[in-house]
Copies of this chain bind each other. A is one copy, B any other.
Amino acid sequence: MNEYEVIKKFFLPLSLKKDFSLNLDDDAALLPKKKQLIVGTDSIVEGDHFEKNEKNPLLIAKKLLRVNLSDLASMSADPFGYTLNLSLPNYKNKKKLINWIKLFAKGLKQDQSKYQIKLLGGDTVLTKGPLILSLTLFGYKNKKIIKRSDAKLDDDIYVTGNIGDSGIGYKILLKKLKLNNYLNNFYINRHKLPNPPVKFGKKLFLFANSATDISDGLLADLNNIITASKCGAIIMSENIPFSKETKSLIIKKKINIDYLFTCGEDYQLIFTANKNNSTKINSLAKKNSIKITKIGNIIKKRKLVILNKNNQELSFKSLGFKHF
């Protein structure tokens, strides 16, 4: 099977209609013209965003799509298509390679129907090193785009979902933490298969002033918002939402709260909104079966303040994952 045959067999069935993808037959693809487009791009790396020698390429495909869907959700865009830059494992056994591609494409297909998006084009290379997979996701702009830089004084700060589960899964994969089988699987699954609130994100433009997704860590990403918006934030550590599993680990002192605030890869949304929108926000969250939690407020002083239940300020060595 040569590259052409692989594309026809596994990727052409995933592609956007011919007018745009040109049957994946050309050097480039066309983009729809009817609306303003938004583009985001994220890469994932073997051994970092997904497990070294991951046995199930289906999970890699889904994670690659979802980390990018998370970016567009945070801007309240409506995703429709993507291009791929795949580095494929350079297996000498070509059957093994084809099987890898087959499962990877299956993962794409499942999430394409879940999220209503299609493939536009891409490029493949082979690598002997760790896999690095990039995806560039296109969406339509909604009435408003939600940026990091538009947080307003006194805005409420909300997060969706729970914080830290993915980071605990990562620790388990690195063998830096060992729990029982049930919990190991629970957390590893959270790390391998994020579940960004894509539908809810599309509605952000109705109520949010600013937003970003939590990829580098709750504190680092909130810090991105206040830096871009030239303001500060005060959050109550007691209000940060954790899963019941994680609450129990905290009580048993099996996990440090600092780690949960900074470990990243949650792929949940953090957004700020005017206090007057709280009823609307809660009802939209309920409608979309999304957990949302108010964790604090935007303040004038350009500082990120984290208070414990006794109103004492907590200090953090680092705000979260910085690439270098």
The A217-236 residues at the B interface (CB cut-off 8 A) are 224, 227-228
In angstroms, how far is the closest chain B Cβ from the Cβ of A108? Answer: 16
Binds B, one of A125-133, A186-194, A239-247: A125-133
Interchain CB contact (< 8 A) of A322 among B3, B88, B212: B3
Copies in the complex: 2
The residue of chain B having its C-beta at the shortest distance from the C-beta of A20 within the complex is: B39
Instruction: Assess whether A120 is interfacial by the CB under 8 Å rule.
Output: yes
Known: A37-B33, A127-B129. A94 touches B324 (CB 8 A): yes
Instruction: Assess whether A45 is interfacial by the CB under 8 Å rule.
Output: yes
Since A27-B72, A28-B38, A39-B136 are in contact, a sample of 6 more A-B pairs with Cβ atoms closer than 8 Å, ordered by chain A residue number, is A22-B149, A25-B147, A30-B36, A41-B85, A43-B125, A129-B132
Known: A37-B37, A85-B41, A134-B134. A26 touches B148 (CB 8 A): yes
In this complex, the member of A22, A33, A127 whose beta carbon has the largest number of chain B beta carbons within 10 angstroms is: A127
Instruction: Assess whether A249 is interfacial by the CB under 8 Å rule.
Output: no
- Interface pairs (11), CB distance under 8 Å: A1-B324, A26-B75, A27-B212, A28-B75, A28-B77, A41-B85, A43-B125, A45-B87, A45-B127, A48-B125, A129-B130
Interface string of A127-162 (1 = CB under 8 A from B): 111101010111101000101110000000000000
Instruction: Assess whether A266 is interfacial by the CB under 8 Å rule.
Output: no
User: Size of chain A's interface in residues, with CB distance under 8 A?
Assistant: 69
Instruction: Assess whether A265 is interfacial by the CB under 8 Å rule.
Output: no
Instruction: Assess whether A121 is interfacial by the CB under 8 Å rule.
Output: yes
The A82-138 residues at the B interface (CB cut-off 8 A) are 83-85, 87-88, 94, 97, 120-130, 132, 134, 136-138
By the criterion CB–CB under 8 Å, are A83 and B39 in contact? yes
Q: Which residues does chain B contribute within 8 Å of A322, judged by CB atoms?
A: 2-4
Q: Which residues does chain B contribute within 8 Å of A145, judged by CB atoms?
A: 30
The 6 closest A-B pairs by CB, nearest first: A129-B129, A28-B40, A85-B134, A27-B71, A31-B37, A129-B130
In this complex, the member of A41, A121, A213 whose beta carbon has the largest number of chain B beta carbons within 10 angstroms is: A41
The A1-53 residues at the B interface (CB cut-off 8 A) are 1-4, 6, 22-23, 25-31, 33, 35-45, 48
By the criterion CB–CB under 8 Å, are B324 and A87 in contact? no
Q: Which residues does chain B contribute within 8 Å of A317, judged by CB atoms?
A: none
Instruction: Assess whether A262 is interfacial by the CB under 8 Å rule.
Output: no
Q: Which residues does chain B contribute within 8 Å of A272, judged by CB atoms?
A: none
Known: A37-B31, A124-B323. A25 touches B85 (CB 8 A): no
Instruction: Assess whether A74 is interfacial by the CB under 8 Å rule.
Output: yes
By the criterion CB–CB under 8 Å, are B136 and A132 in contact? no
